[in-house]
Every structure is written in structure tokens, then in C-alpha cells.
Amino acid sequence: MSDVHVRVRAGGEHYALPVTGVREVAKLGHLTPVPGAPPAVLGVWNLRGDVMAVIDLAALLGLQSAGAQDRIVVVEDGERRGGLAVESLVDVGAVPSSVDPVESEHLLGAVLIDRTPVGILDLGVVLGAPSLERR
């Protein structure tokens, strides 16, 4: 696994996604609502003919949005692909290799970067989260 990650802000907190699972970062545009979708699913988005669900990362993590969501981070894990709506892109760079354990099903752990706590997201869990299933 690469130590290079894409850092984003969601719910006012910082999170890192492994760069190997990030396909692109785009400006949040028009989303088509999906009736009956779970609350964390904002809608679907057409990216050059590839229609994918867009997930509110803050809501998925149980956080209140701290600002307007401005970006979509297109991620994939194996056959699963989706968009994560985030408040902003912080940077792209290396994260420390020593990861502290955390009690969250969505995180692999956490690190401190410039005295800021950063959660390392588990893309497999995020894209397959039970809270994304239809109710």
C-alpha cells in the first residue's frame, strides 16, 4: 500500500484516502436524487457516461456538515465505485506510517499531520457500508 493519500475535509474533520483508490477529484455539480435512497446517498452523478452514487461522507461518518460540500472524490475498491461528497480537498501527500488505532468501522486508524488529527478511511468499508443499503 502506498503512503501517499488524498486528504479531504468532511464534517469539519480531516480524512485521508489512499491515492491508489482515488480516480479523480471534481467540482460538485448536478446530482439526480434517488427516491428511497438512504440518507447518506445524495443522488447519482453522470461522469462521462459512468453513473455512480454520490455519498455524503460526513453523514456516512455520523457527522454534521461543517460547510457546503464543494468536491466529489471518485473512489473505487475492486468492482465498487462511487463519489464521496466532501467540503474541500486539503492536499495530496505522504502520511506517517505509524497509524494509531481508532474505534470506527470506517477507519483504518488515525495519524497526526501538522498537529491535526487525520482519519485514514477504509475505502472497502466506506463503499460497502450497511448504512448505504436501501431501507
Would you list the DSSP string of 58-112?
A: HHHTT----S---EEEEEEETTEEEEEEESEEEEEEE--S--B--S-TTEEEEEE
pLDDT value of position 64: 87
Indicate the pTM of the whole model. 0.90
**pLDDT greater than 80 at residue 130:** no
Q: What top-level class would CATH report for the domain 4-132?
A: mainly beta
Average pLDDT over residues 88-116: 94
Delimit the domains of the chain by residue range. Answer: 4-132
Cell 465505485 belongs to which residue? 81
pLDDT value of position 133: 55
**In whole numbers, what is the pLDDT of the chain averaged over residues?**
91
Report the C-alpha dihedral over residues 67, 119, 45, 51, rounded to 10 degrees. 180
**pLDDT greater than 90 at residue 102:** yes
pLDDT tens per residue across span 40-69: 999 999 988 989 999 999 999 999 877 789
